[in-house]
Structures are given as structure tokens and as C-alpha cells.
Amino acid sequence: MNTVELKNFCTEVRRDIINMTANAGSGHPGGSLSVVEMMSAIFCTQMRVDPKNPRDPDRDRFVLSKGHTAPCYYGVLSELGFFGKEEFTTFRQVHGMLQGHPDMKKIPGVDASTGSLGQGASIAVGMALGAKHLGKDTRVFTILGDGECQEGQVWEAFMAANHYKLDNLTVVVDNNGLQIDGSNDEVMSLGDMAAKLRAFGFHTVEVADGNDIESVLAALSEPTEPGKPKAILSHTVKGKGVSFMENQVGWHGKAPNEEQRSQALKELEG
């Protein structure tokens, strides 16, 4: 997929996010919109996956540790053909395939059930360690929220990633700067995240604009050092692409109404 195609893919995913959350009248558009470029680029340019054979044992693995941004995940998987867009109407509905947070038992393409923050990174470490144990060349990707890094377990996982030299693991922190109660700095300061990631032994790449597809591709294609897990600290804009949602704390976990949906989709026509 070339850069233009990838940009179009991202726009489609953004429209999916708006439609899914508006249909459900529920969900998390803000953090879904901030992570679109990174997740799309990981799936479209990095991962060895086959939508026709989603349980292929030799596939690469992806864990959405910030599980509440499931609308982006479902959008990406659907655009790739893991399931049809008609499933979007089941998002957050009783008997729906698309649960509020990713459910690996129900959704083709989902490798781990997540949603409770702080746990996905550890699951990804387990997958990367399991792959090493089995002598497989599987690569494992996980995306965390910045606020999520306030969970102590995240740092337990980071310690283990370094201890077991998991150079088949890429950890992305989607640093959009906002969480439910306000900015990270108001709620609980994260300090110098890049320095912290380096101190925990990661080959660390910082992306100044994580919503710029070229920058994201450059960060993803940068090789890590042997024996070192890789971290990408991606600075993004929460609500990216929808003017009235950008950098607004209030859009963390609120769905657009019909009027807002129309406006958002209009803006996303480009």
C-alpha cells in the first residue's frame, strides 16, 4: 500500500469510528481518532496477517492495550476484510460481535481480549516470549495509551520485555496528552516518557507528529537493535480529523449525535 492509499485507508477508518460510535450512541471516539495512522500503518505495512485465515498460527500478533479505542481497531480490521461493515451495527449491542472492548473469542483478527488498562502490554510480552520459546519469527505489536502508563503493571511488562530481550516486540505509546479527568499533567504527570522508555531498555523512537503517515512509517521501519525491544513514543492529537473533537477531553468517551455525525463525516470527506 502506498502513502496515498494509506491516507485514504485512514480516512475510511475515521469515518468508521464516527459511524460506529454514533450508531451505538456510546464509545470512545477521541482516542480512537488519535491512533488511526499508527494502527493502520502497523496492520497495512508491518504485520503478516491473512484476513481469510485469522487464526493462522504463523501470523504476527497485535494487542490493543488501550482497548477502549476498539472503534479504530474494528475499523482497521473491517477495511482489511476480516469482517464486513454490516457488523458495525452490532457495536456495543446485546449479542453483538463487536463488544465495547475487544473480545478475541468473538472477533476475527483480534488476538487478545483487552479493555482493563495496563494488561495488554503484559499479554504482548507473553506472546513475544512464547514466540521466542517456540523458535518462531513472530513479531508482536502493542499500542498503549499515555494515561494507561500510570498503571504500574505497564512497567512490570516493560521490565520483563527488556529482561527477556524481546527484540520481536514493538510497544507504541499513543501520547495524545489527555485522559478522562483532564490532561495527563493535571491527573498524574508521566514525566519524561522517552527517557523512561530508554531507561527500561527500549530502543526508543519518538514521533513528533504521530498523525503524519510518513513520520509513522519511518518510525515503524526503523530497525531495533538485536536483543532490544522497540518503543515508539507517538505524539498525537486526541480527536484528530474532526475539528470539534480535537484536543477536547470531553470527547474521550462520548458519542456524536446525528448532527455531529453529519458534520464529522462532511469534514472527513476531505
Partner 1 sequence: MSEKATRAAYGEALVELGQVNEKVVVLDADLAAATMTVTFKKAFPQRHYDMGIAEANMVNVAAGMSTMGLIPFCSTFAMFGAGRAYEQVRNSVAYPHLNVKLAMTHAGVSVGEDGASHQCIEDIALMRAIPGMTVICPADAKEARRAVFAAAEMEGPVYLRLARLATPVFEEEQPFEIGKANVLREGGDVAVFATGLMVSEALEAAKLLEAQGVRAAVINVHTIKPIDAACVTEYAKKCGRVVTVEEHSVIGGLGDAVADVLMGKVHCAFRKIGVQDRFGQSGKAKEVLREYGLTAPQIAESIKAVL
Closer residue to partner 1, CB minimum distance, 21 or 99: 99
The partner residues of 172 in beta bridges, in order of sequence, read 143, 232
Closer residue to partner 1, CB minimum distance, 116 or 221: 116
Query: Contact letters (x/-) for partner 1, 28-57, by CB under 8 A?
Result: -----------------------------x
Closer residue to partner 1, CB minimum distance, 157 or 268: 157
> Are 239 and 33 within 8 A, CB to CB?
yes
CB of 153 to partner 1, least distance (A): 5
Closer residue to partner 1, CB minimum distance, 53 or 221: 53
State which of positions 95-154 bind partner 1 (CB under 8 A). 103-105, 111-116, 118-119, 122-131, 133-134, 136, 138, 152-153
Closer residue to partner 1, CB minimum distance, 7 or 132: 132
The partner residues of 100 in beta bridges, in order of sequence, read none
Closer residue to partner 1, CB minimum distance, 51 or 126: 126
CB of 23 to partner 1, least distance (A): 25
CA gap 152, 129 in Å, rounded: 20
State which of positions 146-205 bind partner 1 (CB under 8 A). 152-153, 156-157, 159-160, 163-164
Write out the three cell numbers for 177.
496528552
CA gap 158, 170 in Å, rounded: 11
* C-beta atoms surrounding 134 within 10 Å: 9
Helix axes 3-24, 213-221, angle to 10 degrees: 110
In one-letter notation, the amino acid at residue 87 is E
> Are 264 and 239 within 8 A, CB to CB?
no
Distances from the Cα of 5 to the Cαs of 44, 46, 53, in angstroms? Answer: 10, 15, 24
Minimal CA–CA distance to 12: which of 42, 26, 33, 43?
33
CA gap 45, 1 in Å, rounded: 7
CB of 156 to partner 1, least distance (A): 4
CB of 121 to partner 1, least distance (A): 8
| Number of residues this chain uses to bind partner 1 (CB under 8 A) | 36
Site membership for partner 1, residue 234 (CB under 8 A): no
> Are 246 and 224 within 8 A, CB to CB?
no
CB of 199 to partner 1, least distance (A): 17
Closer residue to partner 1, CB minimum distance, 159 or 208: 159
Minimal CA–CA distance to 46: which of 142, 139, 171?
139
Q: Which residues here bind partner 1, judged by CB under 8 A?
A: 57, 61, 63, 103-105, 111-116, 118-119, 122-131, 133-134, 136, 138, 152-153, 156-157, 159-160, 163-164
